A = this chain, B = another copy of it.
Amino acid sequence: MRITGTFIDEISHDIAHQNWGREEWRKDFAHMQAVGIDTVILIRSGYRRFLTYPSPHLMSRFGCYEPPVDLVSMFLELADEFNMAFYFGLYDSGQYWDTGDMTGEIDANRYVVDEVWQRYGHHKSFKGWYITHEISRRTKGAIEAFSELGKHCKAISGNLPTLISPWIDGKKAVDASLGTLTKEQAVSVREHEREWAEIFDGISGAIDAVAFQDGHIDYHELDAFFSVNKALGDKYGLSCWTNAESFDRDMPIRFLPIKFEKLRLKLEAARRAGYDKAITFEFSHFMSPQSAYLQAGHLYNRYKEYIATL
């Protein structure tokens, strides 16, 4: 199973910034293309006060800082140039998820979607929307938010596809800033199936594809969870992608590139489950030959050798 998409994590919760300029990004798109990546997904257009593009609405509504560079424009131009599909990731205010009332988050993102479609919708590479909010199990208010935002994105853009990337509440689903690597109370396959059936039912028609993050469960659990995900996707009409994490959740440094063997185990499980597409979080830190983490360049080489055998 080849990785054909990657997130772009320019406003990150937990990955240190590489401080690339346009020149480095242009080279990275070439590196991506050389291993078959045709889709780039902006993981979020903003988080709290930091933005990827100078949104008048968000700067006045949330006191966001004007960014030094319009990254949305830059990524779209590069995606145009490299014939890639660009998915725009929505804004995360960081203010509503704990409250259970997502009205403010939905309202803010309606503005963002309208603003962005007007500013950037003409790019030939603008091919989809990524609902940025990462949820698991029954995050309160998530179904309604995903459903409303997904429908709004599709309505304004002539039905462009919408994507989400939730996490499985497995044993490695722990806070990255804390010391522990695993927890005791992991979800079972059956609970996962029951809870996600309800979510998929609620978002069906508004969301086109779901790319579960593959790093929160153990490697020998992949087949069981993946087959449930695929069956749910088929039943509720959602494409099933895998978000093959290319960083290593098992190490005390959070986070460095993953051991190739682990990535291979995950991609092969996705292939066995009949998944529709593999994307990764994310190429530029963890798989790129020009990453600040030199292990990433070696992972790139190992991955290239691997796909040459497929």
Contact = CB atoms under 8 A, between A and B. Distances in A.
A30 interface: no
Interface residues of A, number: 50
A292 interface: yes
The 9 closest A-B pairs by CB, nearest first: A19-B298, A17-B259, A16-B256, A292-B294, A178-B179, A252-B254, A19-B299, A292-B295, A16-B251
A186 interface: no
A260 interface: yes
8 contacts: A16-B248, A20-B298, A68-B260, A175-B179, A177-B180, A177-B252, A252-B255, A292-B294
A298 B18 contact: yes
Total identical chains: 3
A177 B177 CA distance: 11
B257 A254 contact: no
Contact of A298 (B24, B181, B294): B24
Interface of A is mostly: loop
A301 interface: yes
Interface in A1-31: 12, 14-21, 24
Contacts of A298: 18-21, 24, 292
